[in-house]
Chain A
Amino acid sequence: MSARTLQLPRLVAGRDFADDLVDSLRLEPGAEVVVDAGELLSGTPSFAAELVNRVLVAGQAGSLLLLDAPADFADYVSAAAADLGVAGKLVIRRAVARNAG
């Protein structure tokens, strides 16, 4: 099973940017994708939704592990995964003592 890691920058917005980032992963079906959001300061719901869509729906990845995301961004990802019917493939590990935003 292949694994891919995506490091999010400090600020992310827009579906196009999510598309660009996921394109760079060269995903294969069943891949385990780690999204490292440790540097993220702020991200938009549309970016989060497109990230989930491209990785877990269109990309057919086996799982998406979201690491160290701000609370609100983690909520956006979680809501999108539920909406897209792939919540079972999403794992969120929240940062300790990290503020939202």
Chain B
Amino acid sequence: MEEVPLLKQLQAKYANRATIVGISIDESLPRADATIKEKGMTYPILADGKGFEGSIPVAYRIQGTPDLFVIDKAGKIVKRLGTATEIDAALAALIDPGR
């Protein structure tokens, strides 16, 4: 959760070149909505209120948070990260592989 400011920065930085999607593992939709509002999350957030049993967390086998997946433009998994701090480098490599 302390990573929200960084995610907002990255969303602004990569505005039209990459997409950040948040997936809440909250077991309460009102709770998720309150956090989205309180933290001012600017990127889209999916939530079903089913916690770790929700269809997306199950498909990605999420057992704890934060947990992040970087996906390339063809929809393939590039890497799984345990923190948002490595996203910038990962996205830069995907957008400008020559760098």
Q: Is B truly associated with A?
A: no
A-to-B contact residues, CB < 8 Å = none
B-to-A contact residues, CB < 8 Å = none
